[in-house]
Structure formats: structure tokens, C-alpha cells
Amino acid sequence: QKEVEQNSGPLSVPEGAIASLNCTYSDRVSQSFFWYRQYSGKSPELIMSIYSNGDKEDGRFTAQLNKASQYVSLLIRDSQPSDSATYLCAVLHQAGTALIFGKGTTLSVSS
């Protein structure tokens, strides 16, 4: 059973702080990793993709991948109240084309 695990939270951080979201996955042959943001009542919005070990930065977002540890994370710098949402980790397995999603971590940024 291919699984993607996330801490459900809520993760609460003050405005301006760094939010750190973590995800582990079970299938060692996974190749592609994605972070989606989902506001309440809305559909998932792609914010980051990462394919190679190391860090990938895009604005205030940094994705980190460690395939040996089967671990992927998302850092949000200078967190804003508008970042308050559920963050979904998704993994694309080599054997298929469907994304396997974690259940998401709820982030709350207080002003």
C-alpha cells in the first residue's frame, strides 16, 4: 500500500515566522513530489514541485527533498495570514500516473 503521511496539525505560527510542513512517503521508487495549497471549500492549487534531492526555492516557498529518508518538506518564510490553509503533499509513483495525496496539514497564521 503506497502511503503519504502528514501531521494533520493544526500548525499555528505568528505572522512573519517560518512555517515548516513535513511529509513522508512509503514507496522508495517515487520520482516526483508536489505541494498543493487548499483553502476551505476550494480545490487544490499547485504551489511547488520537486524532483531531485536538495532544496528548491520559489519566492517565500522552499521545498526540500531527501529520497534516502523518504522525506519531503515545505518551508514558508515570512508567513502571512493569507497562507492559512491546508497544505497537501502529493507523490507521483513510478508505476503509475495518479497522485497519492497525504491528508494534509492545516496551517494557521495569526496576525
Partner 1 sequence: GAGVSQSPSNKVTEKGKDVELRCDPISGHTALYWYRQRLGQGLEFLIYFQGNSAPDKSGLPSDRFSAERTGESVSTLTIQRTQQEDSAVYLCASSLEPYNEQFFGPGTRLTVL
Binding site for partner 1 (CB under 8 A): 31-32, 34, 36, 42-46, 49, 88, 90, 92, 96-104
9 vs 17 by CB, closer to partner 1: 9
Q: What H or E segment, with its residue span, contains residue 5?
A: strand 4-6
Q: For 65, list phi and psi in degrees, rounded to 5.
A: -130, 135
> Minimal distance in Å, beta carbon 60 to partner 1?
19
Closer of 97 and 111 to partner 1 (Cβ): 97
The nearer residue to partner 1, 24 or 44, going by C-beta atoms, is 44
What is the closest distance, in whole angstroms, from the C-beta atom of residue 5 to partner 1 in the complex? Answer: 11
β-pair type (11-14, 99-101): unpaired
- Is the separation of the CB atoms in 3 and 100 below 8 Å? yes
What secondary structure letter does DSSP report for 89? E
